């Protein structure tokens, strides 16, 4: 009887641990805009020290996602070009929230959010999540290894 209760408790604990962690891989389908947004938001909130985002299509919606991070979490964006509109958005964002630094990087096609030491691959830009079907996966490769190979 006690063994059965212990087993049931272990199952409950395992369930809560699994559901509290960001998923390792998955697919969001066309129209799952809120679900995809919630996934990205939870990923941002899970950061303890750093967020590095490589994404060639950044706008103010990505900055709003980054506003969900803890105050002590550093955030850096690498994107293909920094438009005057993005520069203005970033200036206003940084005046109110913990600052985000932004740099140009033209050698990447895919999107990679790095959350602390974890590297993710996302098949859609963060600003467009859920508008069309896309997949995501947590990579076995550690963030630092991938970043070093891009020259960051």
pLDDT in tens, 67-123: 999 999 999 999 999 999 999 999 999 999 999 999 998 887 788 999 998 989 998
Res 14: pLDDT? 56
> pLDDT tens digit string along 4-26?
766 776 665 554 444 445 567 78
Helix (H, G, I), strand (E, B) or coil at 73: coil
Model-level pTM?
0.79
Cα–Cα distance, 73 to 45 (Å, whole number): 9
H-run or E-run covering 40: helix 33-45
Backbone torsions φ then ψ of 47, nearest 5 degrees: -65, 140
> pLDDT tens digit string along 118-139?
989 998 888 888 888 888 889 8
- Structure-derived torsion over alpha carbons of residues 13, 19, 24, 30, reported in degrees to the nearest 10: 160
Query: In this structure, are residues 53 and 113 in contact, taking their beta carbons and an 8 Å threshold?
Result: yes
Domains and CATH numbers, the chain: 24-150 (3.30.870.10)
Task: Please report the DSSP string for 46-64 in residue order.
Answer: T-SSEEEEE-S---HHHHH
């Amino acid at each position: 009887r006690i063994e059965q209760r212990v087993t049931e408790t272990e199952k409950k604990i395992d369930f809560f641990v699994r559901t509290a962690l960001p998923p390792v891989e998955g697919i969001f389908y066309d129209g799952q805009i809120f679900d995809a947004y919630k996934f990205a938001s939870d990923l941002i909130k899970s950061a303890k020290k750093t967020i590095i985002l490589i994404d060639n299509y950044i706008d103010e919606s990505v900055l709003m996602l980054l506003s969900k991070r803890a105050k002590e979490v550093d955030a850096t964006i690498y994107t293909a070009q920094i438009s005057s509109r993005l520069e203005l958005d970033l200036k206003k964002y940084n005046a109110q929230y913990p600052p985000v630094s932004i740099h140009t990087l033209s050698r990447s096609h895919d999107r990679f959010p790095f959350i602390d030491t974890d590297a993710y691959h996302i098949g859609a830009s963060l600003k467009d999540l859920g508008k069309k079907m896309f997949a995501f996966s947590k990579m076995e490769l550690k963030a630092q290894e991938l970043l070093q190979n891009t020259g960051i």
